[in-house]
Copies of this chain bind each other. A is one copy, B any other.
Amino acid sequence: MPGQLTLDTLNRASAADFVAALGDIFEYSPWVATEAAARRPFKNLAALRDAMIASIEAAPAEQRLKLIRSHPDLANKTQRAQGLTAHSTREQDGAGLDRLSETEFAMFERLNNAYKAKFGFPFMICVRRHTKDSILDAFARRLNNDPAQEQKEALTEIARIASLRLAGMIASGEPLAVHGTLSVHVLDTHRGLPADGMKFSLVELSRHGEERLIADLVTNADGRTSPEPIEGRPVPIGTYELRFQAAAYFAGRGVPLSDPPFLDVIPLRFGVSEPEQHLHVPLLVTPWSYSTYRGS
């Protein structure tokens, strides 16, 4: 959540205060903030972010590599208590990296070691945009890159991480487009009104059949939720299931149902490919029919 820090404050701060505030945006690399301080004022957050990234792109190859190498190993769970910045710890938990099974841990470690052996730096990925499965997919795909391609991808990921950190720290009238939304809308087409009071849950599914409950929710009088099931952050790339308690809802309104009901819990399973997108998932439902679509 954006704090009280504003771009205006930063534009007018001393260089020392500016660097104190933004020195951690790039892992152990306050020099990026130092260079940005000299380029003030910035008219909006995007201009600040772009200046910081331009500094990195203009830096000597050596220094860019050092920046990448400053980041923690993704799969090294044991290092966590020691070497991670506060930012990194919070972000890596998001994708469930602290809940790896032994098998998954082994796989991460194997991929990570292969990666480091090939490229000489740790695997960079903006974990808040990902689930465990999509991280594994990215690992597998990027291991095939050549070193120049991969250094570019690593810097792209670092820029994404930095953008999210900036968006999280600095209040702005022109926010960075780094957050997505997953919204749900339930229409009771039996009555022709929004479904008010339908319970549902949102679950993340992994390829190996593992489930992670994200939220237990209930629709309001508009058939929606407030806040949305996911908002104010990227929607992690992955597979999800919404589970709507349709029979309980209709039975609660006195609609006669069969026993067992034709529709009881309705699962809607869908994939997310663009974390910054507004993905809208409607459910149009009667006790005997339903439909859904990718809305907007």
Spell out A's residues near B (CB within 8 Å): 134, 187, 189-194, 222-223, 237-239, 258-267, 269-274, 284, 286-296
Contacts and interface: CB of A to CB of B under 8 A. Distances in A.
Contact of A260 (B237, B289, B296): B237
A187 B258 CA distance: 17
Given A189-B288, A192-B286, A259-B273, 10 more contacts: A187-B293, A187-B295, A187-B296, A223-B296, A258-B273, A262-B270, A263-B269, A263-B271, A289-B294, A290-B292
Nearest to A288: B192
B267 A271 contact: no
Contacts of A270: 262-263
Given A222-B296, A288-B191, A292-B290, A271 B265 contact: no
Contacts of A189: 189, 286, 288-289, 293-294
B238 A260 contact: yes
A259 to B, nearest CB: 6
Given A296-B187, A296-B194, A260 B287 contact: no
A6 to B, nearest CB: 27
B259 A264 contact: no
Nearest to A289: B293
A267 B264 contact: no
Contacts of A289: 187, 189, 192, 284, 291-294
A191 B189 CA distance: 12
A54 B190 CA distance: 40
A192 B287 contact: yes
A259 B267 CA distance: 21
A210 B192 CA distance: 28
Specify which of A190, A237, A238, A294 lies most central, judged by the most chain B CB atoms within 10 Å of its CB: A294
A296 B296 CA distance: 15
A276 B116 CA distance: 63
Contacts of A187: 289, 293, 295-296
A274 B295 contact: no
A42 B166 CA distance: 46
A258 B286 contact: no
B264 A239 contact: yes
7 closest residue pairs by CB, A with B? A192-B288, A291-B291, A289-B293, A260-B271, A189-B289, A258-B273, A288-B294
Nearest to A191: B288
A284 B293 contact: yes
A53 B246 CA distance: 41
Contacts of A259: 273
A263 B281 CA distance: 12
A94 B258 CA distance: 23
A99 to B, nearest CB: 20
Contact of A264 (B260, B262, B271): B271
A221 to B, nearest CB: 10
